[in-house]
Every structure is written in C-alpha cells, then in structure tokens.
Structure 1
C-alpha cells in the first residue's frame, strides 16, 4: 500500500490544497504556515479520538460554514503486501478497483451550532460509500492505528500512555512457565506472611468487632491483593547510567530529553512488534521532534525513521535541517509557505541518482540547509560562498530568508530539481568550464566541449520544463572556444541570467581579477596566487591579511576605496543583487 496524495478543503488555513504523498513525508516551513493544522487534518481522518471532538466555526477556512470541510487521503493498493491485504480484507462494502486509487474521505458540516462528521471510502472515480459505524468508532479504526507525538506539550503524559501500551504488550512463551510458577509460589508465601503481621491482625479484629454489632453472620479477613495475575502489570521503566563504573545507579526515567529518546524507542518497538501483530496499518505523526534533542540525537533520529526497517507510514514536521541528514531515497519533502497571503504547498520526491551515491550525504546535508529559506544561490565551492557572504555583509545587505550554498563540486541538477519543485527560488553561479575531447583514430582534429554552458542549459531545461539544445563540440583553440561561447551565445546567456543561471566568463578568480582591475600587477599573477589555495587565500584577501597577502597585491587592495562595493556592482557578480532583490 502506498500513500499517493492528500486533499484538504475549507479547513483552517487550507482553502483548497492537494499534496502529493509517499510513505515517508517530511513537512517543513516557517512558523504559522499550517504544519500543525496539516497533522491535525490527518488525525481527524485516522484517529477516532480527534474525529469525535466537536468542530467549531474557527475550524472552517475563514469561518465559512456554508461549505463543508473535506479531507481525503488517496491510497494505491495495487501492490500486494500485508497492508494492502489488511485494507482490502476489512474494507467490506467499499469498491476496491486495483487499477485506481482508493479514497478515504471525511466531510464535516456545521448547522445551528452543531457539527456533523461523516466518513466515506471506495474507488476514487466511483461513488463513495459510508464507512460502517461501530458506535463512536468506525470500521476505519479497526484498520488504521494512528500515533501522534506532540512537539513539547504533555510530553510526560504522552510518555505514560506509550509506556503503559508497551508494558501491556506481550506474549508468554513456553519456556516462561516454570519461571511464572516460581513467581506465583514466592508471591503466595509473601502474601501469607503479610497477612500474619500484627498490624494487619489488629485491623482485622477491630473491623470484625464493629461488624458484629450489625451482623454476626460473617466477618472480614484482610489479605494482600498484590497477586501477580498478570506479571507485566507491576512493571515500570528505569534507566541505568552506562557511564556509572559500578553499573548500579538506577533511577526512573525523567527529563524531557531522556523521555523523548526512550519514547521513540518504545514507539519503534510497538509499531514493529505490537500493532502489526494486531493486524492494523500504522500511521505515525511526529511534531517537531528537534525540541529537547541535541543535534547528534536529531541526526540519529533521522537515521532511525528513514531506515528500511522502520515501517510505519510517516508524517514529520520540523524546523531543523538535521532531520534531513539521513533522509532516504523516495522520501517526500512537503514545503508549506505563504505567497501573497495565500497558503501554498509543494511536494517533491528526493531521488538521488545511482551515480551520486558516493556524494549522497554531502548532497542531502547541504540541501537541508536550503529548505528553510525563500531564495538560494548555489555556487560551486567554498571560495565563492566565503566571498559572496563577505560582500553582502560588508554592504549591510539583508540576508534574511536567503542563503548562499556551496555544493562542493556535486552536480547542480539535483539541487535545482528538488528546490525548484518545492517552490524555492534557485539562482546558480557556475564556471565557464571547457573540456578537451578525446582524439579518435579516425579524426585527429582536437575539439573542445562547453561543459559549463551545457550545464547552464540543463538547469534552464529544469526551470522551463522543456528541452534545449546543448553546444556542439568545435575545433577551436581552447581560449578561442570559450570566447566563442560568450560572444556567439550572448542571447542565450542573457536569457539564462533572467532565469537566475549565471555563467562566468571564465571562473571566479578571473571574474574577480577583472572586477578589481589591478593597475600595478599582472592579472595572471593575482589569479595564480588565488587559485593556489583557494579558500585560504580568499580568506586572506577579504580580511586584508598583511602577513599572508603578497605585498604588491596587499598594497593595491588597501589603496582601493571599497572592494565589496566594487565587486557587488560588477556585471559578473550580478547574481548577488538578484539574490537580495536589488534592482
């Protein structure tokens, strides 16, 4: 069974929204864009405790009670697996056409101060049938088990509920029978001794004396009631500090951070061992788990929930990029954001091509930094990032809701595809790289390929959602070929700039040398020095480090009025003005 899409209409800040889904979904966005409302909508559909709560006028979008609230989840049950089998077997009267999506729909109307909620299900294109009611529950509640973990409120109460569920979830094995018998005999002996205590006998005698005044036909006997009918009823959770040398320091679980980690471990166990055994489909909703977790614990949680062994259908809301660090292929990123005061939702699958497996962690970790802003400038290396951030900060430019991200040499395509698909504006600054082609036996003419230009064309193809022709190889001398690209493709390069893709004339170092316009030193001398140790030398440059900069370069830089403004105003660095919104 695969989750395919969710539609929400007329509910809170969702006027009419469709979100593509997969089985593991990360929901992110700034504050007050509806992340909690999205989780609540899912709970209304799958959690009977939420579904049976009264709906108020404020739950309707802009309090429009003339229209119904509608929440639908669409499932693909064509693939044969245990969860598809559970749904098909228990859906009873519903149509289950394997060639179409299966829809589960909630509607809520409001009349005369009262709300009325109905559940429907069936094949998407057919008339839906009402889900059979089982009192305050429905047949849907016999199919799905919805677990919600709040962000920080009521952590202790939630933990108590999960702990109780864990400790009551068990099956006795045959080899436990002798141990259980020994426990029962020992418990019986303890109870007999407790009953012999003088304090117990004194209470028993006094009560029976008073009772005889009313009725001499019977008397009471006081005995312990702690018989182990179910041994697990007397269990509790304690935690041992593994750093304790003796290993004897044991204390009850306490503290939100510790409780939350243990709670995730319990839930993982219950969803794998407990709920599956009951024949229910597990749906797990986690709200901002980064609260009370250190960064390393957030990364470990990400690793756990995106592992192949973690089976529940997942919705997780977060503000933390660290929850994306171990995200699996085919997980779904759902970005909620506001545009012109209207709520927008974009979802995008994170599919990392096989050839980039070696760079997967680099890709996802740097990608995660870009998900919480409105505009991103992607650059090839750390030197560009260092220089560009220094220029903007030196000029006091507002970098709120924008980010400059180095992709560390990893292909731009994946970043642009995912970020563009999530509605995040993406700018790219890349080098005009030239590749010398291999000379074949049949043709000894040396040719070159414009891989930098071709890279830009491929990115524009993603942005425009159409294919463009890349540059053919030409038999031109190396530098002439690059000049040919800049001159002959000027119209295309200008068009790409308008789309946020900026191609250097050569590379960062050459662009910077042109912008600084050295008078007393040769441009090549400066470029060779800067390319020697790119990041280190760029740092010496922007900090005007007299001890590390070559003396002639230092003297000319000091003499310049405003280096940052010079770079910012140069046409080769127009991407910076575009990033911060300067005309």
Structure 2
C-alpha cells in the first residue's frame, strides 16, 4: 500500500494544495513554508501517538488567507493505492475499491473564530462513497511513524530498542527459549553472588557503619533497623530493561554519546524493526515513515550516505523534510517536492503538484553538475544566474558593498558556466523558484553561404535574452511599458544580425533599445562585458582599478600606468576578481545606481514582494 497524494483545503497556510508522493519522497522549501504542516496533517489521520481526544480542530488550523465563506472550514484528504496486503484488506474491508484504492478524509468546521468547532473522519473506496466513522479504527493496520525536528533522540532510542528486543524475543524458536532460560538462571545466580561480594568491600561496609552511627543521633525512630550502602543489582525482569545501546572499542563498552551517532542508530533500529515486520511475507501493519530533518547532527558525507540508505534500505514508504543540499543532490530526481508561496504571495503551494517527471527531467539534464552547491538553489527564494565564476565573485561583493544581505534575503547567485542558462532556467521554473539573469552583450561572427552578407556579426547576448523571453518568460505586456517587447524585437531583428563588423555604435544602440524592456522581465544585458562595464562604471571604481594594476610607489622610476586595464582584468579573470573585490568592497558602494547593480535590486524587489515588505528600508538599503 502506498500514500498516493494528500489534498489540503484551507488548512493552516494551504488554501488548496495537492501533493503526490512516491515510495520515497523528499519535501524541501524555505523555513516556515509549511513542510511541518504537511506532516502535521498526516499525523491527524495516521499517527497513533495522537489520542482521539486531541483531534479537535484549533483556530490556528483554519487558513487565514481564505475568503470569508471558506474561512471556517478545512479538510485533509489522503488517497491510497495498491491496498493489497492481507492486514489492510481485513482492516478496511468494504472501504477498499475494486482498484485497491482507499480514501481517508478529515473535515473540520467552526461557527466563528473562537467559537464551537466540530470534526469528522470519513473513509471510503472513492470520493463519492466516503462514509463517516466514529474512530480511526484503521490505525492498527495503517499508521505513520514520525520523528519531529525537535526530537528527543534518547527517548526514541529507548522506545525503539525495547520494541526490537520484544520483537526478537517473541520470534524465538522453542529451543532458543529453553536455551535462553537456562542461561538466564545462571546469570541471575551470578548477579546475586557479585552483589554479595561487592557489599563485603571494606570501604562499603564501613560507610554503612558510619551512616548508622550518625542516624541514631538524629532520630529515635526505627532503632532496630540498620541502613547500609550496597550494590542493588537488577532482578531478572529489570535486567532485561537495563539493556542499553553501547559502542564497543577493543572489548570496552561505552555509551553512544554524539547526537549524530544516536540519530544514525535510531534510523538503523527503525530499519531493523521494519525488516523483521515483513520478513514473514505479510506484515501485520503498514507504516509510513516520516522524518523531519534527518540530517540533524551529521556532517556532509554522512548526510549523503543517509539519503542513500533511506532510499535503498528502508523497505517502506518514507517521507522526509530537509534543509540539506547534500541530501537533496543525492535524492531520486523524480521524488523531490518543493513548497513555495502561491501567486498571492501568502498561501503555500507546491511545484508540479508533488513528485514529477518534469522536475526529474530538468534535474537530470544537469547531469553530473548537480552538486551540493547547485542544490542550494532548491532552498532559495530567488536565484540570480550569471555566466561564470567572475560574476559570482563580483556580485557577492557588490551585494556587500550595497548592504544587501543575500543570506538574510535567501538569494543565491549561481554560475551557469559550461552548461548555459536554459537548463538552469528549466530547473528553476519546474520548481517554482523566481530568477533573474545577466549576460554579456557580446558579438559573435557567423559565416553564411546563402546570405548576401556572407560574414555577419550577431549581437548574441541580446538574442540570447530574446529567446529566453519567448520560451521561458511570459510574453504578456507589462503595464507601464510604452511598447510591447514583441514588436520591438520584430522591428530590430536585422539590427541584431545584419552587421558587417562588430560595430560599437550598433551595440550601444541595441543596448539602449532593449535594456529598459528586457530588464522588466529580469533579463539583464551588459553594455559590453563584465570587465568593461566595471571599468567604465564610476570614477572611484576606475581609480581603484588603476591603482590595483600599478606597481608599488617605491618603483616610481619604472612605474607606468597600464594603458589597458580591461585586458589585465580579463587576462587574470577570476583571480583578479577574487582579490580586487575582497580588497575594495567599500568602493563598490558607488555602483548603487549603476546598471551593474540592477539585477541585485531586482532580486531584492522579488523578495520584498514575496514577504510583503515593500516598504521595509533595511532589507537592502537600495
């Protein structure tokens, strides 16, 4: 049996959201986006640890973003498929359809905020045949096992350890039971002998004598009793309860201490219990494993290994919520669900209605390039795509110079070097992640045998943005633009391609024509290239560049100011950018109103709109 989807209507921060799942599913998204709320919705219907008395809806469970008519109702619908197991068929009986489907629904209502609240649970083989039920009768055969992000791992370990021992104790053969009983009797006798011998140690017996002497001086009561200090070893049943998880090093036992190791031990215990429960062929119950932030206390290598283990070893349906790019980059590409804000920038939705082949295809198109660094964008609220490492270095320091806190605003800057923009844009679009981009306004020479102009120079950067505008962005006219961008493209088609040489005046003309319009769509083009634009941006920046490339003043006799600083910038590329921006971050503040800074300001505007902080001045000081 597998949970196929959950559909939330007016529940907490979800107005209407359907999420489909696979056997293993990773739920990702920014903080406070609703990952825990999805698991909370599942818990209402499937978690045995939540008593019936705690199922009463609360005011905070009703969506705050609904229309007035909808504000006093919410529902949680679960759809299950492949209900083939014997335990499920006997547990649900007439509630299973001919196609082995089961629906479970929770409906809540209130007459007003703070008023009377009611709920009902419905079960059925289809949406039309749902019937109210008095209890969650199905929990003995269908349930979930849940670990919260704030888990008390020691408590969980103790509980799961006891369950494992009980499972194995019950599954012993008759011969094993007889053998264990004999050994236990011998051990019990040995325990008593050890206890007796320990109590004869001189310092222990003396301590008892001194204690009684002082006790008699304090009170006349119970004078006939003597207290003693001694070792009270556990009885037979207590001995069983005293068994703990230990780590053995060179035959010495130590308690498991690190939280990361305990986290791994707990998941291993879960897996062991899961294997035991199904190794006889038919399980007694179907459990869905739900873990919040499984990466807790684990270093990157172990986070990657954990993702692999959960996918390949845990023989059950598993739902994970995580903030780890190390887990995200290793997870099955067709099993990632990303939550993000809806078009209203209030309620939460998910890309592609859950797991999707569309997302899988865009991830797989990146091939080996999808690593933890790239996977960081899964958790971003906005991504700024640039051509290479130099741009990443420059814009991170420009953000610092402009007092734009990229991490606080959850903005990532990503280089598309070696891949191109399209594959990354497809990935971001499939996951519902807003993005902007910047490319060079470069010329490219083409040889055209069938054309009158055999050798033509194309303004490739602007053409690149036009293609992305047509294929990846909406072509809807943005209010406030004097002219539709589509008509501007048609009017200037020849100006972008029919050039006999790399004419600078034509480049400037096309930049001035297209920049105001393309930038409205988050599509930014250089005046020429990054290095040229930086050098020509502001006198303070140019002076800093000339000083950077000039020899020290003590070599005054041989000192020559370089005539071509731009060539030096391009020659040393990323190395130059790394050292120059690190040393001159404060100078970059002069670029606040320069077009170089426009993509960053665009990102900040997107974040402000998402968070509803249009007037918050300290977000970027821009």
For residue 528 of structure 1, give the secondary structure of its aligned residue in structure 2.
helix
Note if 1:45 corresponds to 2:45: yes
Tell me which residue corresponds to 2:369.
359
Against the structure 1 CA distance between its residues 564 and 234, is the aligned structure 2 distance closer, same or farther, given a 3 Å change threshold? closer
Note if 1:248 corresponds to 2:233: no
Note if 1:119 corresponds to 2:158: no
Structure 1, 106-115 or 262-271: larger mean CA deviation: 106-115
When the two structures are superposed, what TM-score results if normalisation uses the length of structure 2?
0.68
Against the structure 1 CA distance between its residues 193 and 285, is the aligned structure 2 distance closer, same or farther, given a 3 Å change threshold? closer
Give the deviation of 1:146 after TM superposition.
0.6
Tell me which residue corresponds to 2:409.
401
In 2: Cα distance, 1:324 partner to 1:295 partner: 11
Match of 1:412 among 421, 439, 461: 421
Match of 2:601 among 564, 577, 581: 577
Tell me which residue corresponds to 1:325.
329
In 1: Cα distance, 2:85 partner to 2:511 partner: 54
In 1: Cα distance, 2:247 partner to 2:191 partner: 31
Paired residues for 1:184-195 under 5 Å: 184-187=181-184
Match of 2:265 among 258, 262, 267: 262
In 2: Cα distance, 1:316 partner to 1:193 partner: 47
In 2: Cα distance, 1:62 partner to 1:29 partner: 19
Give the deviation of 1:150 after TM superposition.
1.8
Match of 2:399 among 392, 402, 415: 392
Structure 1, 48-57 or 143-152: larger mean CA deviation: 48-57
CA contact (8 A) 1:21 1:332 kept: no
For residue 268 of structure 2, give the secondary structure of its aligned residue in structure 1.
helix
Question: Bigger relative contact order, structure 1 or 2, given CA contacts below 8 A and separation 6+?
Answer: 2
CA contact (8 A) 1:17 1:345 kept: yes
CA contact (8 A) 1:150 1:287 kept: yes
Against the structure 1 CA distance between its residues 45 and 355, is the aligned structure 2 distance closer, same or farther, given a 3 Å change threshold? same
Give the deviation of 1:513 after TM superposition.
2.9
In 1: Cα distance, 2:305 partner to 2:571 partner: 38
Note if 1:479 corresponds to 2:502: yes
Tell me which residue corresponds to 1:426.
435
Against the structure 1 CA distance between its residues 233 and 379, is the aligned structure 2 distance closer, same or farther, given a 3 Å change threshold? same
In 1: Cα distance, 2:365 partner to 2:10 partner: 44
Note if 1:456 corresponds to 2:465: yes
For residue 167 of structure 2, give the secondary structure of its aligned residue in structure 1.
coil
Structure 1, 144-153 or 509-518: larger mean CA deviation: 509-518
Against the structure 1 CA distance between its residues 4 and 504, is the aligned structure 2 distance closer, same or farther, given a 3 Å change threshold? farther
Give the deviation of 1:330 after TM superposition.
1.1
CA contact (8 A) 1:105 1:120 kept: yes
Q: List gaps (5 residues or longer) in structure 1.
A: 200-223, 546-556
For residue 568 of structure 2, give the secondary structure of its aligned residue in structure 1.
helix
In 2: Cα distance, 1:108 partner to 1:188 partner: 57
In 1: Cα distance, 2:150 partner to 2:427 partner: 30
Tell me which residue corresponds to 1:345.
349
Against the structure 1 CA distance between its residues 49 and 340, is the aligned structure 2 distance closer, same or farther, given a 3 Å change threshold? same
CA contact (8 A) 1:282 1:313 kept: yes
Structure 1, 513-522 or 317-326: larger mean CA deviation: 513-522
Against the structure 1 CA distance between its residues 117 and 123, is the aligned structure 2 distance closer, same or farther, given a 3 Å change threshold? closer
Q: List gaps (5 residues or longer) in structure 2.
A: 197-233, 477-485, 547-559, 606-620
Match of 1:503 among 525, 528, 547: 525
Match of 2:537 among 498, 510, 515: 515
For residue 151 of structure 1, give the secondary structure of its aligned residue in structure 2.
coil
Deviations 1:137-179, CA, capped at 9 Å, x for gaps:
423x2553311012234322222222222233349999x7776
Give the deviation of 1:536 after TM superposition.
1.2
Paired residues for 1:25-36 under 5 Å: 25-31=26-32, 33-36=33-36
More helix per residue: 1 or 2?
Answer: 2
In 2: Cα distance, 1:420 partner to 1:52 partner: 42
Deviations 1:293-342, CA, capped at 9 Å, x for gaps:
3444334333433x344453333333444442323211223325598783
CA contact (8 A) 1:366 1:405 kept: no
Against the structure 1 CA distance between its residues 120 and 51, is the aligned structure 2 distance closer, same or farther, given a 3 Å change threshold? farther
In 2: Cα distance, 1:414 partner to 1:198 partner: 71
Against the structure 1 CA distance between its residues 463 and 147, is the aligned structure 2 distance closer, same or farther, given a 3 Å change threshold? farther
Give the deviation of 1:7 after TM superposition.
2.3
CA contact (8 A) 1:420 1:463 kept: no
Structure 1, 377-386 or 64-73: larger mean CA deviation: 64-73
